[in-house]
Copies of this chain bind each other. A is one copy, B any other.
Amino acid sequence: MDNISTRERIVSAANKLFYREGIRAVSVDAVAEEAGITKRSLYYHFKSKDDLVAAYLDYRDLPNLKAFRRWFADAAGRLEDRIGAIFDNLAEAAQHPKWKGCGFLRTSAELANMPGHPAIVVGAAHKKKIEDWLASCISAEGMENAEALARQIRLLLDGSFAVAMLHRDPSYFRTAGEAARVLVRAGRTTPATEILA
């Protein structure tokens, strides 16, 4: 078996550097140094940089999902307000000076020329989880068009990640939150067949 704590130190170092600088901008040497080991030891735990990148995203998967769930659970009001709260919390988080957008989206953008890359698989799975979770929240409220609505909200989510990062302006999250509220309300009063294409 692996020495867990070393492996975790490596992934944590990778998370710090890859999120801050990007994938190709960070060398394996830099990750090893940040983790306080040699590169050769890193290659004992990971068979390639590509695998390390996938592990980096995997490392972010659960904490991310949990934050979303918490924000939603802690919010009061109707469904649209609780979904809106997710965007408000994101706007808050994006004010932190170390915030650099969504690691999953940034990585997938950087590796867009390698479709089957393990990190892209992890990233796509993460985003699907978010979408599915949103759909479950919506259908728990008795709405029938949950999947379509969840997709639309997810589009606003990822759109605000991209735009807030580009302009370094967290207020786009609030704009997106408002749009999400409108969509939820519209979905409640309109039959699903009109929302779908």
**Closest B residue, CB atoms, query A149:** B179
Among candidates B20, B108, B148, B172, residue contacting A155 with C-beta atoms closer than 8 Å:
B172
Q: Are A113 and B100 in contact (CB under 8 A)?
A: yes
Q: How many residues of A contact B (CB 8 A)?
A: 53
Interface 9-mer from A3-11, A75-83, A132-140, A157-165: A157-165
Known: A152-B156, A174-B197, A178-B196. 7 other contacts (CB 8 A): A25-B113, A109-B109, A109-B162, A110-B110, A155-B176, A177-B197, A178-B197
Binding site for B on A (CB under 8 A): 20-22, 24-25, 100-101, 104-106, 108-113, 115, 120, 123-124, 127, 148, 151-152, 154-163, 165-168, 172, 174-179, 182-183, 185-186, 190, 195-197
A-B pairs, top 6 by smallest CB distance, nearest first, are A159-B159, A109-B109, A155-B159, A152-B179, A24-B24, A106-B109
